[in-house]
């Protein structure tokens, strides 16, 4: 069967359902992420007039017509839940017209918007100066090709099956996290607290021969990354060497970032880091490196670092204050059990992110397959 070619505006209608009776409070407020998902809003809603907010019903689409600073993505989402939520008046809402639901499926249109090709088109077609827009008329002017409904449904079923598999996996991941957190809370209330000064010792080995040129730093996610600093003309012999099993710490801007910037290096080949960083190694072999890093990966550790940081413009967590931070330290057997469980959790979390990435990557493939089959 031949494809049906039309303008998207022929199939959709704009919505303007206001929260006039204040049925939905701030707990129902959402925004749209770069991943094209509804998320809890990050906006400060104190004092906002919620009667001006729009209600997003199940099956409605919502998008941000401001395309600036969105990482080259068209921020659009589809309410796949059975619940109503609300969003600020800055968003635009629409749905497929009732008389066009025999031509276009909600999920197929969502897949259509999920393609990088659509992101590029929206970014190219946006207009403005410091703030760029892709308005309602621009959405309506999108050219779209449609296979028949059974073909659309066939590829939507494949997509839905992948989403269901990922969501099932994610629910199991959350159950594992609850178990893991309960174990840590039990340790926190029963094991003795040991300060960092008793666990870690500073080391200062310099790249005196200049043979190591892999310059790295650490980010707020407690991961190593290639340095963003301009090292042209910089004397790398003054940089510090980091070897496998050593920690790197930066106390700068801990309060601003609400993060203790620390990372455990686990690669075989050494790297070098700026002299502004501090390098640690473990004092006691009975304490597991991964156990220490696991505690610093918790949000409560970051909150403590934020609380302990100084009042300077850089809101630093100086080395002496860092040494005061304590962690609960059970026996080595319990440490190993916790670390093993944490490794399972992080591995499964990584797999879950890969599944999400596969779902995004499969959308252009499914759309192309549907269009080719409908030709």
CB atoms inside a 10 Å sphere around CB 331: 10
The predicted pLDDT at position 68 comes to: 67
- Per-run averaged pLDDT (10 residues), the chain, 375 residues: 89 95 94 90 86 96 84 90 93 96 95 93 86 92 94 94 91 86 89 95 96 93 88 91 96 90 95 96 90 91 91 86 94 92 87 88 92 83
Which residue, chain included where needed, has tokens 């600020």? 88
Verdict on whether the full-model pTM lies above 0.85 = no
Q: How far is the C-alpha of 292 from the C-alpha of 286, rounded, in Å?
A: 12
Beta bridge partners of 273: 240
Q: Which tokens is 142 given?
A: 């999108």
Q: Which tokens is 132 given?
A: 């760029």
Residue-by-residue DSSP string for 302-328: HHHHHHHS-SSTT----HHHHHH-EEE
The predicted pLDDT at position 230 comes to: 83
Residue-wise burial string across 294-317, b where 16 or more C-beta atoms lie within 10 A, e elsewhere: bbbbeeebbebbbebbeeeeebbb
The predicted pLDDT at position 46 comes to: 85
The predicted pLDDT at position 177 comes to: 84
Residue 209: C-alpha distances to residues 171, 206, 238, 249, 268 (Å): 51, 9, 10, 24, 19
Residue-wise burial string across 132-146, b where 16 or more C-beta atoms lie within 10 A, e elsewhere: bebebebbbebebeb
The predicted pLDDT at position 155 comes to: 95
Task: Say what angle helices 149-190 and 106-113 make with each other, to 10 degrees.
Answer: 70
Q: How far is the C-alpha of 355 from the C-alpha of 120, rounded, in Å?
A: 23
Contact 65, 136 (CB under 8 A): yes
Q: How far is the C-alpha of 360 from the C-alpha of 32, rounded, in Å?
A: 16
The predicted pLDDT at position 198 comes to: 95
CB atoms inside a 10 Å sphere around CB 194: 15
């Amino acid at each position: 069967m031949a494809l049906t070619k039309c303008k998207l505006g022929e199939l959709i209608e704009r919505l303007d359902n206001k929260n006039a009776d204040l049925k939905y409070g701030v707990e129902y407020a959402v925004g749209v992420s770069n991943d094209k998902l509804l998320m809890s809003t990050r906006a400060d809603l104190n004092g906002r007039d919620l009667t001006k907010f729009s209600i997003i019903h199940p099956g409605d689409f919502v998008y941000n017509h401001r395309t600036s600073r969105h990482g080259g993505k068209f921020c659009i989402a589809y309410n796949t839940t059975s619940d109503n939520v609300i969003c600020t008046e800055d968003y635009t809402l629409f749905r497929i017209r009732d008389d066009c639901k025999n031509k276009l499926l909600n999920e197929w249109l969502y897949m259509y918007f999920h393609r990088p090709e659509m992101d590029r088109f929206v970014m190219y077609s946006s207009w403005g100066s410091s703030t760029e827009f892709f308005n309602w008329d621009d959405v309506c002017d999108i050219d779209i090709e449609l296979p028949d409904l059974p073909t659309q449904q066939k590829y939507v079923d494949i997509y839905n099956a992948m989403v269901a598999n990922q969501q099932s996996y994610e629910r199991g991941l959350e159950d594992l996290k609850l178990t893991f957190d309960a174990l840590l809370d039990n340790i926190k209330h029963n094991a003795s607290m040991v300060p960092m000064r008793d666990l870690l010792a500073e080391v200062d080995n310099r790249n005196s021969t200049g043979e190591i040129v892999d310059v790295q730093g650490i980010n707020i996610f407690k991961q190593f990354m290639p340095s963003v600093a301009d090292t042209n003309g910089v004397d790398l012999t003054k940089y510090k060497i980091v070897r496998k099993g050593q920690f790197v710490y930066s106390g700068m801007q801990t309060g601003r970032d609400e993060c203790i910037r620390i990372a455990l290096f686990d690669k075989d080949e050494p790297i070098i880091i700026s002299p502004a960083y501090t390098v640690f190694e473990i004092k006691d072999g009975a304490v597991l490196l991964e156990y220490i890093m696991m505690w610093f990966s918790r949000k409560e550790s970051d909150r403590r670092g934020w609380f302990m940081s100084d009042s300077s413009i850089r809101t630093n967590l100086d080395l002496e204050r860092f040494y005061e931070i304590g962690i609960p330290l059970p026996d080595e057997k319990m440490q190993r059990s916790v670390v093993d469980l944490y490794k399972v959790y992080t591995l499964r979390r990584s797999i879950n992110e890969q599944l999400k990435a596969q779902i995004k990557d499969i959308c252009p493939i499914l759309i192309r397959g549907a269009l080719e089959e409908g030709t």
